[in-house]
A = this chain, B = another copy of it.
């Protein structure tokens, strides 16, 4: 199964279908309005993304009809350029503003007829405090975002292709003596060039293309990006990654690699990581519980003696961001459904030896799953000549 990669904005019917589904869920929950502040949710419902600043952007979805966008007047012309599907505009002049002229007055107007208002779990208090006691936290948009449409899957495939290009460039750059910074610059710029060559009007505010690699010295600490001037050395494990969003859809691909040779101490943890990964692929199928996938993977890793060397769950979701729910994690009791997209990336982190992790962007299909970032993965393929 393959999906054609595309990077073009959604058509109106795609956005309208999302709104209709959200309004159906609102009806089930008895909500008169849904208040969206999270920029990723606003993007999902409108295709509008810009840089977020202290001027509030609040999208109100009513029980019926078009959403109303409370936003700074300053932004209206390019909201009109970017947004897809019909929108009503409720612009305010500035933030802050004299009493009665600001965003909060506009929002109160828009919500004047609503007695039960849904808000997001991450709704900031300064917004929810304006709603009185009408509000109820709900996860309607989060739930919708978890299941991708065919259009969205094609967007993810495009993002995956960009990430694989970045990873390829990165691994070409990584040689003993080369600084992490050098490899980072070349690969990130290649990804950015591809994105804007394919679509000159790509939105930089929903694009975030990163490619980087950790030299062996710090791979045991996977979020350590405190020094980009460490050189790569012969041996390994080094860990490379290309991740982020390409014009609004997320993906990542990460590979543990070696330069010239594989140190003896690295062979077993690499093999165990690959076993854990294979187990995750076998278990991450429709009908499984997310918790169970992670629990089984962690049990395998603990049984192999690496119980003290785990730093994270098996995987996270992708969507209009590169890192979101749902999670292949102990404690996430949700069921896996077709159309979900997860990273599969069990890792082992040994302070003296290094970090071992591959990550891929994986689509859940009707019958199992499909790796959307097929890339070299064996120890042989990933031991690069120096």
Contacts and interface: CB of A to CB of B under 8 A. Distances in A.
Interface of A: 50-51, 53-54, 72-75, 77-78, 81-82, 94-99, 101-102, 119-126, 128-129, 137, 181, 196, 200-201, 203-205, 221-229, 291, 311-313, 316, 323-325, 327, 329-332
Nearest to A311: B74
A53 B125 CA distance: 19
Contact of A228 (B204, B222, B223): B204
A247 to B, nearest CB: 12
A190 to B, nearest CB: 13
SS of A interface (majority): loop
A54 B325 contact: yes
10 contacts: A54-B324, A78-B226, A81-B226, A94-B330, A101-B331, A123-B125, A196-B228, A196-B229, A204-B225, A205-B225
**Most chain B beta-carbon contacts within 10 A, residue among A95, A123, A229:** A95
A221 B78 contact: yes
A331 B129 contact: no
A247 B282 CA distance: 44
A330 B125 contact: no
Given A54-B323, A73-B311, A226 B200 contact: no
Contacts of A73: 311
**Most chain B beta-carbon contacts within 10 A, residue among A74, A98, A119:** A74
A327 B196 contact: no
Contacts of A227: 200-201
B74 A222 contact: yes
Nearest to A203: B226
**Most chain B beta-carbon contacts within 10 A, residue among A221, A313, A331:** A331
A74 B223 contact: yes
A205 B211 CA distance: 15
A121 B128 contact: no
A74 B123 CA distance: 26
A332 B123 CA distance: 24
A134 to B, nearest CB: 14
Contacts of A228: 196, 200, 204
Given A54-B324, A95-B327, A311-B74, A125 B126 contact: no
A289 to B, nearest CB: 13
Given A54-B325, A82-B226, A224-B78, A124 B126 contact: no
Which 5 residue pairs of A and B lie closest in terms of their CB atoms, listed nearest first? A122-B124, A96-B331, A121-B126, A98-B331, A97-B331
Contacts of A204: 225, 228
B200 A96 contact: no
Contacts of A125: 119-125, 128, 137
A329 B122 contact: no
B331 A102 contact: yes
Contacts of A123: 124-125
A357 to B, nearest CB: 12
A137 to B, nearest CB: 6
A291 B94 CA distance: 12
Contacts of A323: 53-54
Nearest to A351: B77
Contacts of A331: 94, 96-99, 101-102
